[in-house]
């Protein structure tokens, strides 16, 4: 089976934590499933969990080139040059990173409040951008936006391939069969 979870803010992408922080196990009580990829503790949105090792590898391997769409609330107003830099490539400590696409968007419709909310500064505007990547390096989107001069204030993974958080509130999940999952790839 494939479990689609809308991971809340400040939840670890694992099933246990010796320090008592919230984990996937606080939300998904399905035996034998494991994350197909990770999502940072301070990021929100879609996580996929599966009991099929081959499906897990297919989803999480960078060679699969499965697009991952993120909504990033960034500090400032992105210029066309900054958005182009994300697609043309920005240099990170672990090498160049490129987005498949990057564009400014309106605040996503139906977006839930985050607790605690992001900091608000009257003198510094913030903007939402949509960025699509096919890799998944550690904190990659945050590092890319920072390198382009657009520090990320809030990050939500909206989709992985054809799966999305549509109709999933934070902490909620749904499951599909492995057959449906493989057919969607």
What residues are labeled active site? 40
The pair of three-digit structure tokens given for residue 10, joined into one six-digit string: 């400040």
Distances (CA, A) of 170 to 22, 73, 110, 125, 158: 13, 17, 12, 26, 12
Q: Report d(CA 72, CA 127) in Å as an integer.
A: 8
Q: Quote the crossing angle between the two packed helices 80-88 and 140-147, to the nearest 10°.
A: 130
Report residue 165 CA to chain centroid gap. Answer: 10
Pairing of strands 44-50, 152-160: parallel
């Amino acid at each position: 089976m494939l479990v689609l979870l809308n991971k809340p803010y400040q939840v670890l992408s694992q099933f246990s934590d010796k320090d008592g922080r919230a984990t996937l196990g606080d939300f998904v009580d399905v035996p034998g499933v494991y994350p197909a990829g990770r999502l940072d503790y301070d990021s929100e949105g879609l996580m996929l969990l599966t009991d099929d090792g081959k499906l897990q590898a297919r989803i999480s391997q960078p060679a699969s080139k499965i697009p991952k769409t993120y909504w990033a609330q960034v500090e400032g107003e992105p210029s066309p040059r900054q958005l182009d830099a994300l697609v043309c490539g920005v240099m990170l400590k672990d090498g160049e990173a490129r987005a498949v696409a990057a564009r400014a968007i309106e605040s996503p419709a139906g977006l839930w409040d985050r607790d605690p909310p992001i900091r608000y500064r009257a003198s510094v505007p913030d903007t939402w951008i949509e960025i699509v990547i096919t890799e998944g390096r550690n904190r990659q989107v945050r590092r890319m936006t920072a390198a382009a001069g657009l520090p990320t204030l809030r990050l939500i993974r909206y989709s992985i391939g054809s799966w999305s958080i549509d109709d999933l509130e934070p902490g909620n999940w749904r499951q599909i069969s492995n057959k449906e999952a493989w057919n969607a790839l």
